Chain A
């Protein structure tokens, strides 16, 4: 793999390939550590994930967002299977940037937060492999490499759930694996078809280069719609969009704590990210055409997830269903097809990763102490664990979308953008915000308030290590809540470019904007054009 470094096209350090190579290499190192040195595995895993995290932060600091450019940054390219036109081609823009950083952050946190119960070596090896795969999805600009990474994450996640999970873990793991694999089966056919049709119409050789194919838009409209559906199916299962969500509650509930954190934090984002990058960007016309379907499914997901979450007796299952609702918002924002809503969606992907990750960590900590997640059996925990109650409050409020915390910013932007574009969908979606308050506050009340009975009264509060693990997440929740500007700034240009790209390739489509601000100028320009 050192070849990749040596031969990258730019002279600068190839930071994106290293994001894959470092954890993948780490996985190899961990897997071959001597069995006798159990204490080493966690340390080594932590070192590799911290290096990856540092690389992702470096990416963040080096990212140029003021220079308005529609190309990807940190480009690197290395031919892989030249006969098929497949190359390791990486690049990051404002949309993937923060997902990369989120991935970089969450893995060390997940390592620090929870120790596996057995087989440390393979646990950490799989985790690092998972990180490499996730990074690959967010960085790759080659359709096949994207698919490879998108698929390969199933394997580590399958083993993490089935070997270190709880309860009915092997059922949950198998269901997760088969659902997602079946979902993406057709996407491979779609990817190959795109490349062949592109080569046919341009007369060039086969290439799987995302930018080239997306910019040329050489595939006829009807075909593109069909192919879009194969992609959308894969992403819809991964996200998951109602009604393809049934694997999620099982997988989330039975996964080990760190697995749930990663699953909710980054793995679900593979789908939503995919919808933006390989849906809107690759198939603008088809995305626009099918947008009403996805808007509706998004709204259904919001309401359905919230209602079902409210019914749950298991705290972890409740958080799992809340994810379905949150991801409904992200889908809604994505298909509103305007800058505010898409920025909101990307931001909400990050927010959801932080707050749901933190929620799963907290639920895991409760489970570790009480060996139950049944809401009935918990109660009055705030007496015995005030610090935990405090942390839980903040995280929960962020998940509800309380102004001043990160969840609000994302949801507000999504609703704002959607309201401009599709008013009634936004109106219904807003009800989801209320429902979120309902099920989360109610759960909080039942778990933390009231009198504490025997075991609940004796529960220990957060340990220093646990506090330290949660603190960065909490800091981010507050920071993104009160000062999201630096993050939004970095996303905005890329999202604007995306919307312009959609406008360019969809005849008769203009970005639905708020008429009271920018919109007026835009309308004037259009009228002027028509005047000519």
Chain B
């Protein structure tokens, strides 16, 4: 070997495994550069950039999946990044959320007169952050991912400059988000203090082999990390920002927040709690179970009394987060697979539902009251039919993907003998059904003549809505293959 003895060894990098991250980050930065150099904005440039990046990542996921299936998961960069099939699965979901947001945003941004390039740059960077979270093997990397993701989303929420609600939502989201980041970081610091490493594998091995005489610091670390991550996925009682941020944010951004950010947040939760802290499951399982139960109940009950559809869907997304957290707290392989399945279905449910909210919202993004949906079945029968499918899916009605998703997490709760939690969750699901029924009732009731507003649905938006509904039905009728994929995608820690 001719390598000089004085060269500094650099960590090995497996470039192909970082492809999604590179694509998102580079295209985001490239777009930023190009659009700042252009004198006049080219309307199609930014959405095309973002869409191409999303589709590219989605397609590249297939060979990556196959390669990891054959060669096994891998970790590199001094074990700070770990790529397994869960990374690929969650990255694909992030890409799907990115694609639907991009499609929805194009007519929206034009209509509302919001500069397009910034929007897509931030979206791409946020997606890059999500991908980092899905492949993080180190608490610091995880934190970096969360910050990249979050800061971009704070700005995205505030992007509707002429709407005061947008600013209000962004400020709330930002202030609370900054606190939660601090909590998370403090939690990470305490865990580091207790175990002496931030590497997930290092922590796992340490906890498996050593017994801490004083584990108070570790416990507080767990708690603070749970708070920080719970905030990102809007778990009660750290959910307070959600309704306001969802209501105020430009509706396409809500798709990203509900689908993309949630996926990334749960990716982090899965990697940290059931995977890394598995030996201390007895200590964090009960608090997490309590939180998940409270979240489901709170989200369902409060959603019922809303009159604004975006707020309804916001609270229902809190309830969904509670359901997903039930799967996380079970800390089993089945539970984790159920979480992944739920995240997959919810990505489509949220994309489709908020896409419809976007088009019904109309000019000024203000038409979100329940009355705006009156008579939708008469005006746009196809749209109403598809929204029916999506709402029934959200309610978890049999033969939709929503049911199979709920079945999975409820099974995992029963499996770990949390019968009470399972019961509470199911009863809340029945309560939440009323929320969706209210929207259905409005759609199929007769509209007053004065309230009718024209609804324009562009071709791309149709594609998002139709595909989302199709996936919801398909995963409900033939769930077998999807279940198998999610079981294959259960994360594992490698390296060390």
A170, B446: Cα distance in complex, Å: 12
A185 touching B483 by the CB < 8 A rule?
no
A81 touching B437 by the CB < 8 A rule?
no
Cβ 8 A contact of B437, one of A79, A178, A188: A178
Give chain B nearest CB distance to A82 CB in angstroms: 6
B426 within 8 A of A: yes
Q: Mark interface residues in A379-420 (1 if CB within 8 Å of B CB, else 0).
A: 000000000000000000000000000000000000000000
A162 within 8 A of B: yes
Give chain B nearest CB distance to A158 CB in angstroms: 7
A193 touching B407 by the CB < 8 A rule?
no
A83 touching B422 by the CB < 8 A rule?
no
CB-CB under 8 A from A428, the residues of chain B are none
How many residues of chain B have a CB within 8 Å of chain A? 31
B23 within 8 A of A: no
A182 touching B397 by the CB < 8 A rule?
no
B11 within 8 A of A: no
A257, B437: Cα distance in complex, Å: 23
A231, B189: Cα distance in complex, Å: 49
A182 touching B430 by the CB < 8 A rule?
yes
CB-CB under 8 A from B53, the residues of chain A are none
Give chain A nearest CB distance to B26 CB in angstroms: 38
Given A158-B437, A178-B434, A182-B431, the answer on whether A81 and B479 have CB atoms closer than 8 Å is: yes
B441 touching A174 by the CB < 8 A rule?
yes
Closest Cβ neighbor of B338 among chain A residues = A84
B429 within 8 A of A: yes
Q: Mark interface residues in A137-167 (1 if CB within 8 Å of B CB, else 0).
A: 0000000100111011011001100110000
B186 within 8 A of A: no
CB-CB under 8 A from B410, the residues of chain A are 188-189, 192
Interface residues of A in 36-91 (CB under 8 A from B): 79-84
Given A81-B483, A82-B480, the answer on whether A188 and B399 have CB atoms closer than 8 Å is: no
A273 within 8 A of B: no
Secondary structure at chain B's binding surface: helix, strand, loop or mixed? helix
A162 touching B444 by the CB < 8 A rule?
yes
Given A174-B441, A189-B419, the answer on whether A196 and B411 have CB atoms closer than 8 Å is: yes
B423 touching A189 by the CB < 8 A rule?
yes
Cβ 8 A contact of B441, one of A83, A144, A155, A162: A162
CB-CB under 8 A from A79, the residues of chain B are 480
Give chain B nearest CB distance to A79 CB in angstroms: 8
A149, B398: Cα distance in complex, Å: 7
Give chain A nearest CB distance to B151 CB in angstroms: 39
Cβ 8 A contact of B407, one of A84, A154, A158, A186: A84
A163 touching B444 by the CB < 8 A rule?
yes
A interface residue count range (under 10 / 10 to 19 / 20 to 34 / 35 or more) = 20 to 34
A387, B408: Cα distance in complex, Å: 57
A402, B410: Cα distance in complex, Å: 49
CB-CB under 8 A from A147, the residues of chain B are 398
A123 within 8 A of B: no
Cβ 8 A contact of B480, one of A83, A159, A162, A185: A83
Cβ 8 A contact of A81, one of B397, B399, B404, B430: B404
B423 touching A186 by the CB < 8 A rule?
yes
A189 touching B422 by the CB < 8 A rule?
yes
CB-CB under 8 A from B404, the residues of chain A are 81
A181 within 8 A of B: yes
Give chain B nearest CB distance to A213 CB in angstroms: 15
A444 within 8 A of B: no
Give chain A nearest CB distance to B285 CB in angstroms: 18
CB-CB under 8 A from B441, the residues of chain A are 162, 170, 174
A154, B396: Cα distance in complex, Å: 12
A148 touching B403 by the CB < 8 A rule?
yes
Total residue contacts A-B, CB cutoff 8 A: 80
B426 touching A155 by the CB < 8 A rule?
no
CB-CB under 8 A from B415, the residues of chain A are 196
Interface residues of B in 385-420 (CB under 8 A from A): 392, 397-399, 403-404, 407-408, 410-411, 414-415, 419
A177 within 8 A of B: yes
B149 within 8 A of A: no
CB-CB under 8 A from B411, the residues of chain A are 84, 192, 196
Given A189-B419, A192-B422, the answer on whether A181 and B433 have CB atoms closer than 8 Å is: yes
A132, B410: Cα distance in complex, Å: 26
CB-CB under 8 A from B426, the residues of chain A are 185-186, 188-189
A170, B434: Cα distance in complex, Å: 12
A152 touching B429 by the CB < 8 A rule?
no
Given A170-B445, A189-B426, A196-B414, the answer on whether A83 and B437 have CB atoms closer than 8 Å is: no
CB-CB under 8 A from A185, the residues of chain B are 423, 426-427, 429-430
Q: Which of A155, A178, A230 has the most CB of B within 10 A?
A: A155
CB-CB under 8 A from B444, the residues of chain A are 159, 162-163
B433 touching A144 by the CB < 8 A rule?
no
A193 touching B433 by the CB < 8 A rule?
no
CB-CB under 8 A from B403, the residues of chain A are 148, 151
A170, B374: Cα distance in complex, Å: 13
A129, B411: Cα distance in complex, Å: 28
A216, B423: Cα distance in complex, Å: 25
B480 touching A177 by the CB < 8 A rule?
no
A192 touching B480 by the CB < 8 A rule?
no
Cβ 8 A contact of B433, one of A83, A178, A188, A189: A178
Q: Mark interface residues in A183-208 (1 if CB within 8 Å of B CB, else 0).
A: 00110110011001000000000000
A230, B411: Cα distance in complex, Å: 16
Closest Cβ neighbor of B408 among chain A residues = A84
Give chain B nearest CB distance to A195 CB in angstroms: 8
B484 within 8 A of A: yes
Q: Mark interface residues in B427-464 (1 if CB within 8 Å of A CB, else 0).
A: 10111011001000100110000000000000000000
CB-CB under 8 A from B422, the residues of chain A are 189, 192
Give chain A nearest CB distance to B383 CB in angstroms: 15
A277, B158: Cα distance in complex, Å: 57
B399 touching A193 by the CB < 8 A rule?
no
Cβ 8 A contact of A152, one of B398, B408, B423, B427: B398
A148, B398: Cα distance in complex, Å: 5
Closest Cβ neighbor of B442 among chain A residues = A170
CB-CB under 8 A from A177, the residues of chain B are 433, 437
Closest Cβ neighbor of A145 among chain B residues = B398
A80 touching B433 by the CB < 8 A rule?
no
Given A188-B410, A189-B414, the answer on whether A151 and B480 have CB atoms closer than 8 Å is: no
Interface residues of B in 244-278 (CB under 8 A from A): none
Closest Cβ neighbor of A151 among chain B residues = B398
B431 touching A84 by the CB < 8 A rule?
no
Closest Cβ neighbor of A227 among chain B residues = B419
A178, B483: Cα distance in complex, Å: 29
A158, B423: Cα distance in complex, Å: 24
Cβ 8 A contact of A186, one of B427, B434, B445, B479: B427
B483 touching A148 by the CB < 8 A rule?
no
B487 within 8 A of A: yes
Interface residues of A in 94-139 (CB under 8 A from B): none
Closest Cβ neighbor of A180 among chain B residues = B430
CB-CB under 8 A from A84, the residues of chain B are 407-408, 411, 483
CB-CB under 8 A from A182, the residues of chain B are 427, 430-431
A151 touching B427 by the CB < 8 A rule?
no
Residues of B within 8 A of A (CB): 392, 397-399, 403-404, 407-408, 410-411, 414-415, 419, 422-423, 426-427, 429-431, 433-434, 437, 441, 444-445, 479-480, 483-484, 487
What 10 A-B pairs are tightest by C-beta distance, nearest first?
A148-B398, A185-B426, A182-B430, A152-B398, A185-B430, A189-B422, A192-B414, A181-B430, A151-B398, A83-B483
22 contacts across the A-B interface (CB closer than 8 A): A79-B480, A80-B480, A84-B407, A84-B483, A151-B398, A152-B399, A158-B437, A159-B444, A162-B444, A170-B441, A170-B445, A174-B437, A178-B433, A178-B437, A182-B427, A189-B419, A189-B423, A192-B410, A192-B422, A196-B411, A196-B414, A196-B415
Contacts A83-B487, A188-B407 known; 20 new A-B pairs at CB < 8 A: A81-B480, A83-B480, A83-B483, A144-B407, A148-B403, A151-B403, A152-B399, A162-B441, A163-B444, A170-B441, A174-B434, A174-B437, A177-B437, A185-B427, A185-B430, A186-B427, A189-B422, A189-B426, A192-B407, A196-B411
